[in-house]
């Protein structure tokens, strides 16, 4: 099967939280929420972000707002 532009982008799933992605942002497939989150936090010092669960938070569509520290860490690891 030949690879077409459409076949390599499906399924559109955010690599950060698993929500429906809107496209490639910062070289990662992301949803609009994670795109905006990364843009707001990437250039600022992350020193003020602290995880209450020893840096082991699962980031999903439902929990992505619970721990900014773990969400930002996941963004940078991708």
Mean pLDDT, consecutive 10-residue stretches, the chain (78 aa), reads 54 92 92 95 82 95 96 94
Domain ranges of the chain: 10-38+59-78
Provide the whole-model pTM: 0.81
Q: How far apart are CA 24 and CA 64, in angstroms?
A: 19
Architecture in CATH of 10-38+59-78:
2-Layer Sandwich (3.30)
58 token code pair? 């699962």
Residue 28 · residue 15 · CB < 8 Å: yes
């Amino acid at each position: 099967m030949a690879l077409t532009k459409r076949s390599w982008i499906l399924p559109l799933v955010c690599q950060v939280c698993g929500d429906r992605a809107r496209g490639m942002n910062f070289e990662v497939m992301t949803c609009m929420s994670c795109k905006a989150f990364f843009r707001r936090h990437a250039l600022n010092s992350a020193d003020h972000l602290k995880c209450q669960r020893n840096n082991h938070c699962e980031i999903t569509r439902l929990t992505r707002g619970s721990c900014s520290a773990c969400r930002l860490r996941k963004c940078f690891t991708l």
